[in-house]
Amino acid sequence: MSLNATKVAVTRRLPANIEERMAELFDTKFNETDQEYSRAQLAELMAAHDVLVPTVADVIDSDLINGAGDQLKLIANFGNGTDNIDVDAAHARGITVTNTPSVLTEDTADMVMALILAVPRRLVEGDRLIRQPGSFTGWSPTWMLGRRLAGKRLGIVGMGRIGQAVARRALVFGLEVFYHNRNPVHDDLEAELGATYVESLDRLLRNVDIVSVNCPHTPATYHLLSARRLGLLPSHATVINTSRGEVIDEEALADALLAGRLGGAGLDVFEREPVVNPRLLDLENVVLLPHMSSATIESRQSMGEKVIINIRTFADGHRPPDWVLPSDAKF
């Protein structure tokens, strides 16, 4: 497959210099309107192109994959997570799937810490209040009281690259770090992070002040933080999620927050994204963001560069560096 003859379809607008480079290298079709494609439009693209470049907002399920043309040989995801793609179905059709790992780690960890600061210290609530004329009448000893971070216990669910980056930041803020993972990390890394492994997720949740969800969404992690598990958290605890909305039972989370059984939440992802549970919208102790943890100029540039490398390597007849294999979806 020669580079210039490789037909590539991109589902959303990418940084201008990335699109320019893709246009130079490949026969590329861009989404000029930047509006999300319908299933019918995705099917049309997959019937006519060698490579599809979707984003995390595009659901590429088994029906679309099985209906794709025989010429489609690569799905080069513009994103780290691939839960939007049926990787098993793609593998069965002989279609390679790639992603853009590692480049989002630092930005996502920054956003985790921003939310860890924003919720207990009531930053967004304070900002909203001061913008209302007459609401701020002067300082008072008991007004807008939040909770100190130093000395609190942070529970990290998923100690991969992002979880580790969160732990490094949390240590600087004086948080005690505990984590739950499929397996403990290496002793040297654990010592470097100042983190303590907790084999039981239930036990971790019972004993932390803040929980940060940093595991991927798989069948095994769907509603990992269920109503029962959310009920294990102390009533003052803060829940942070920058991973995938499906990992938390959002209805149960709203129930707990409305009933005062949790201290607050900071959410950058949602179970039915882009739809946000309406019961969360009016809660002062909840900070809601529009899936922007990785939204930096630097990360989008790096993601685009990885997509190009994956396509070029594949078109040259080699295994792309960010090849995603089918997994047993265990956590």
CATH code of the domain covering residue 303:
3.40.50.720
pLDDT for position 103: 93
Q: Are 240 and 266 in contact (CB under 8 A)?
A: yes
- Give the dihedral of Cα atoms 21, 26, 29, 30; nearest 10 deg: -20
Among 49, 217, 229, 244, which one carries the catalytic annotation? 244
| CA–CA gap between residue 167 and residue 160 (Å, rounded) | 10
Residue 132 has a CB neighbour count (10 Å cut-off) of: 8
pLDDT for position 330: 42
Q: Are 179 and 167 in contact (CB under 8 A)?
A: yes
Pairing outcome for strands 7-10 and 264-267: unpaired
Q: Are 60 and 42 in contact (CB under 8 A)?
A: yes
Element (H, E) at 117: helix 105-118
Ranges of H-type helices in 119-230 = 123-130, 161-172, 187-193, 201-206, 227-230
Same domain? 97 vs 210: no
Among 161, 168, 291, 312, which one carries the catalytic annotation? 291
By CB neighbour count within 10 A (0-12 exposed, 13-18 middle, 19+ buried), where does 177 fall?
buried
Same domain? 73 vs 129: no
49 labelled catalytic: no
Residue 153, domain member (yes or no): yes
Same domain? 165 vs 200: yes
Same domain? 115 vs 58: no
Cis peptide before 274 (omega within 30 of 0): yes
Residue 150, domain member (yes or no): yes
Angle at 56 between CA 52 and CA 57, to 5 degrees: 95
273 labelled catalytic: yes
Cβ neighbors of 140 (< 8 A, separation 6 or more) are none
**Backbone phi, then psi, for 310, in 5-degree steps?**
-60, -40
Same domain? 199 vs 69: no
Same domain? 114 vs 59: no
Q: Please name the residue that has the structure tokens 């939440």.
A: 265
pLDDT for position 1: 59
Same domain? 117 vs 225: yes
Structure tokens at 244: 């995938």
Structure tokens at 218: 């798989």
Residue 325, domain member (yes or no): no
Residue 331, domain member (yes or no): no
Of 50, 57, 46, 68, the residue nearest 3 (C-alpha): 50
Number of domains in the chain: 2
Domain that holds residue 199: 105-134+145-288
223 labelled catalytic: no
User: How far does CA 153 lie from the centroid of its chain?
Assistant: 23
Residue 9 has a CB neighbour count (10 Å cut-off) of: 24
Structure tokens at 224: 């990992």
Residues of the chain with confidence (pLDDT) below 50: 328-331
Residue 324, domain member (yes or no): no
Residue 140, domain member (yes or no): no
Among 93, 273, 279, 305, which one carries the catalytic annotation? 273
Residue 326, domain member (yes or no): no
| CA–CA gap between residue 161 and residue 290 (Å, rounded) | 22
Same domain? 114 vs 246: yes
Same domain? 151 vs 52: no
Same domain? 202 vs 237: yes
Reduced to 3 states (helix: H, G, I; strand: E, B; else coil), residue 328 is coil
| CA–CA gap between residue 206 and residue 101 (Å, rounded) | 32
